[in-house]
Copies of this chain bind each other. A is one copy, B any other.
């Protein structure tokens, strides 16, 4: 990444980014109009993209990586493939076959050990079908909308921003187009990201846009929610969505979880489960799909104390950090110790830093290549308004750097939103260093009278009163004393409350705890994307034989740990196969017996394809006492000879990281069989 020759090529592009980054900073400092900043940011992004594309094109093995070859292997050996293919298939949906499913299950099991068990997190398993009210409060109903347009005749859909961009680029590329129009086009393209429905509709009309496929007319822009809608219950009255993320299930259970944790902060809850997004045009295989598995952690902590007791254990971890600042300056990502990053304030707090380090360890242990992993900080304009800091773990693939894990400090946003929507206070108590005396102003409703007067709205009113701030109650009291009544507005509805209905009490009390709304640090894992990155990082070819491709998955996540291969179909081998298979099952080692007729070399090649790390061969020497077998390791293709009664235990230890191949190689005699010649 710091090759001087490459840096020479990149230098002007970096300068280009920095120039624009500085402009953005200046505009912000000067309090320039919003639109000018937006435009400058869009240009900054465009320059960053040019820099990144150039950088990627210069990575040595990116050029030689053969994605089609890898995908052929994954499809042929049914790691995964398109769902419902015999019915024509559905884009953006995939089925995991035996090897993909086992890899996924092992990856999730590793995740559970690494996070839930190690940190004693509270794992939950919540409903997928979610009522609209919940997702309205979380912001998804409003935020998850894309604009699209439909071909009036065929019904074909297009994402409107993509369509406009393509259309304008085509016009710009046309020699006959005037310079003035070209400038107009590039101006619109830059602003596109921030345009609303009416603005985009105007652009469509101005350039008389038609369907690029048929030339047919297009509909007005349509708002399309990326969530799958359905009705819960037969009456059609409860509108629901398939959850677009698993996190909300944790937030709505916050009270129960806090209680389970005996009221104490901090604690983390976790969930593994499926989520759904009705992408307009899914693409890039496992990377952008309609149905996907997530593993999410919500760590709840005191907003004023985001220290982490185990941070010292990870402080020395070196990570490749691509800070927002470096992105603005056109600089490269930097290798930094996470301890230093937190100390310098580059990473917002210890808890965020702790999780970033743990995420890195998990990914590398599961097969992500260290050199192809970076943490990119969200720039201010990318981050949700409530987020305090956000770093994405990105993996380098043939699709570029893809986000695999997000790690954000979401502050108190989610709990606050659900509190507002339900009137149920999602908060925790924090013990004060010493008791303090406070003034209390409280609006106490006369429930009987309220009920009589407002019927079912009475609950809305009491909920609203509950949520009033102290100063609001004060204000309230003044009006009651003055005018004798107060108009309380809830959700746009006004209620006239009289003195008889509400008593405002003022008194002092001694409190021992403060009520706080916890901050949430959220590491959120896209399981399919991680799997895809691991596939790419572990797809290998044997030296001198491009046809012999294999997957070098770490044994802890490999779908099967071991193969059992009799040298031939000789019946004398049968009892040994049975015995070894039973012994492996007993020590929880998943394995595959391949007694098909191919040569041993061919069969090894087949097991290499499905990433089996170890292979046991039963040969004629096995029949002799003391019985023994050969054990072969996938990546080195080295073999050793091991006594029959030790083999299951050795493989168990290799599979569960309790020993290493080099140790096994040192302990047992080397076995020389020329497997390549046997092919």
Binding site for B on A (CB under 8 A): 77-78, 81, 83-87, 90-91, 93-98, 100-102, 104-105, 109, 112-113, 117-118, 120, 122-131, 133-134, 148, 150, 155-157, 224, 228-238, 240, 242, 249, 252-253, 255-257, 259-260, 262, 269, 274, 276, 278, 280, 290-291, 418, 421-422, 424, 426, 585, 588, 590-593, 596
Contacts and interface: CB of A to CB of B under 8 A. Distances in A.
Nearest to A117: B590
A294 to B, nearest CB: 14
Given A86-B422, A117-B588, A120-B592, A234 B280 contact: yes
B228 A224 contact: no
Contacts of A256: 78, 81, 97
| Copies of this protein chain in the complex | 2
A257 B97 contact: yes
Given A87-B252, A150-B235, A588-B117, A95 B126 contact: yes
Contacts of A593: 120
Contacts of A91: 233
A234 B157 contact: yes
Given A124-B95, A424-B86, A113 B588 contact: yes
A200 to B, nearest CB: 16
23 contacts: A81-B256, A83-B126, A83-B252, A84-B127, A86-B422, A87-B133, A87-B252, A90-B238, A90-B240, A93-B127, A97-B256, A98-B260, A101-B124, A105-B112, A117-B585, A120-B592, A129-B228, A129-B290, A150-B235, A155-B237, A156-B235, A232-B278, A262-B596
A291 B95 contact: no
Contact of A98 (B123, B150, B238): B123
Question: Counting chain B CB atoms within 10 Å of each CB, which of A224, A232, A259 scores highest?
Answer: A232
Contacts of A257: 78, 97-98
Contacts of A596: 262
A257 to B, nearest CB: 7
Question: Counting chain B CB atoms within 10 Å of each CB, which of A86, A123, A242 scores highest?
Answer: A86
A94 B127 contact: yes
A104 B124 CA distance: 10
Contacts of A249: 83, 95
A109 B237 CA distance: 38
Question: Counting chain B CB atoms within 10 Å of each CB, which of A84, A112, A262 scores highest?
Answer: A84
A424 B84 CA distance: 12
A232 B156 CA distance: 13
A134 B87 contact: yes
A249 B98 CA distance: 13
Nearest to A248: B84
A105 B86 contact: no
A269 B97 CA distance: 10
Contacts of A100: 125
Contacts of A260: 77-78, 97-98
A387 B608 CA distance: 41
A153 B324 CA distance: 58
A154 to B, nearest CB: 9
A86 B77 CA distance: 47
Question: Counting chain B CB atoms within 10 Å of each CB, which of A96, A112, A125, A280 scores highest?
Answer: A125
Contacts of A156: 235
A585 B129 contact: no
A457 to B, nearest CB: 16
Nearest to A253: B95
B255 A118 contact: no
Contact of A230 (B126, B131, B242): B242
A254 to B, nearest CB: 9
B229 A230 contact: yes
A272 B249 CA distance: 21
A104 B90 CA distance: 31
A249 B291 CA distance: 14
A87 B126 contact: no
A127 B97 contact: no
Given A83-B127, A95-B127, A232-B278, 19 more contacts: A78-B256, A83-B252, A86-B422, A87-B133, A90-B129, A90-B131, A95-B253, A97-B256, A98-B269, A109-B109, A128-B276, A129-B290, A155-B235, A155-B237, A156-B235, A157-B233, A157-B234, A229-B230, A262-B596
A508 to B, nearest CB: 29
Nearest to A261: B98
B276 A129 contact: yes
Contacts of A86: 252, 255, 418, 422, 424, 426
A157 B235 contact: yes
B422 A87 contact: yes
A630 to B, nearest CB: 22
